[in-house]
Structure formats: C-alpha cells, structure tokens
Amino acid sequence: MGIRDLFSKRPENEAIHRTKVLVCSLGAKFQELAEEDSPIYSKFYPLTTVSFFSTINELLESIKNKYDVVHLFVEVPADGILTDSTGNQIAGTTLVQKCCESDVKLLWIASDNKPDGYIKGFKGGPINLVMTIKRNDSKFPHFLSALLTRMSSGEKMPTAWVAISPQTSRDSRHADLPATIFSAGRGGAILR
C-alpha cells in the first residue's frame, strides 16, 4: 500500500469476510486484560490471535500479517510516544500509519490512558480508531460484546456504536459504558 492508497476514497460499503483479529499487548503488564477481551473477539471472529510483545518492532512485524482488527493494550504517556521495554519509541500517529499501510480497519487502544496522550500523539487516517480512557471495569467486556454482536451481523461500526452508545450526554446509559474516543476513519467497513 502506497501513500496514494492512504488518501484514496474507500467504497461506502466494504465487506470483510473472515475478519482476522489481533488482541495484543506491548509488555506483560496487560496480559490479564488481553485474556479477558480475546474470548469476546473469538466468539464473533474465529480468526483471533493473542500475542504479547516485548518490543515495538515485534508489534509492527505482526501487524504486517494483514489483520483487520488490532486490539492493543499499551501505556500511552502524555506526549503520545509509546516506549517498549528496550527504550525504543514510536509515536501514536506512526502506529496508526503502520496499521493503515497494512490495511487494518480498526485499531483499538484498549487499556486505560489519559486523553492528553491520545490528543497529542494519535492522529487518525483511513482507519476506525478507538482510544480507551477508562474501561470502567466489567462494563468494558459487556460493551465490547454488544458492539461485536452488531458488527459481526453486518452493521457498520459507526451505526453499531451509536446504537449502544447514544451521542447525547443526557442519556442514562452512559453510566454503563466505558469512556472512549472513537474516530470513524473507515466507517464503511463491515467486519463479518
């Protein structure tokens, strides 16, 4: 995929069959959360892989394996620069770009992080990007399951998202949801 492909218009409906998912973490700290979320993905998408990476290079090499969804646990500091255990770094925006180059349709940063790092370090592209601020404990798996139920049935992610997470602050259902930022950069993707 070249630079022109990143800016070319995508089809309004882009159906992906046999969606391939990578649930992973950068560092061992998030192993328990990855093991909590991976069975939810596996229920809807049998081609789900779980991996724990020590280095950014391992993560980037794995992303090249043409996953449709990357569900990543990582610490995002206030500057938006991710650092691995060896001291190597990558800007969040570069990670987003690498995912786009590998045709990832959804990148979900699934660990709790303050919004400052996302705002400073993560710029979107032609990808659905979810950045978790607070999982809200057991509310996250319920939300993820409800979202994937709709998406795996053929709903586009923005439609499914709004159905379970209404975009009005006065809706009482917000108390039962995780706090996230969602950018629909590839809203036409249908992940089956």
Give the model confidence (pLDDT) of 21-54 as tens digits: 999 999 889 999 999 999 999 999 999 999 999 9
What pLDDT does residue 124 have?
Answer: 82
Q: pLDDT-derived band of residue 129, with 50, 70 and 90 as boundaries?
A: very high
What pLDDT does residue 6 have?
Answer: 44
CA 38 – CA 141 distance, rounded (Å):
10
Q: What is the mean pLDDT of the chain?
A: 92
Mean pLDDT of the region 72-98? 97
What pLDDT does residue 174 have?
Answer: 59
Residue 192 confidence (pLDDT) above 50: yes
What pLDDT does residue 169 have?
Answer: 61
The answer to whether 24 touches 34, Cβ cutoff 8 Å, is yes
DSSP track, the chain: --HHHHHSPPPS-EEESS-EEEEEEESGGGHHHHHHHHHHHHHH-SEEEEEEESSHHHHHHHHTTT-SEEEEE----TT-EEE-TTS-EEEHHHHHHHHHHTT-SEEEE-S---HHHHHHH----SSEEEEEEE--TTHHHHHHHHHHHHHHTT--HHHHHHHHS-S-TT-GGGGGS-EEEEEETTTTEEE-
What pLDDT does residue 121 have?
Answer: 93
CA 166 – CA 158 distance, rounded (Å):
11
The range of the structural domain enclosing residue 177 comes to 3-191
What pLDDT does residue 2 have?
Answer: 44
Torsion (CA) 30, 31, 34, 38 in degrees, nearest 10: 180
What pLDDT does residue 112 have?
Answer: 97
User: The CATH number of the domain where 37 resides is what?
Assistant: 3.40.50
What pLDDT does residue 63 have?
Answer: 98
% residues pLDDT > 90 (the chain): 84
Which of 86, 83, 85, 135 lies closest to 109, judged by CA?
A: 135
What pLDDT does residue 3 have?
Answer: 43
Mean pLDDT of the region 134-163? 96
Phi/psi at 131 (nearest 5 deg)? -120, 115
pTM for this one?
A: 0.92
Residue 155 confidence (pLDDT) above 90: yes
Mean pLDDT of the region 133-157? 96
Q: How many domains does the chain have?
A: 1
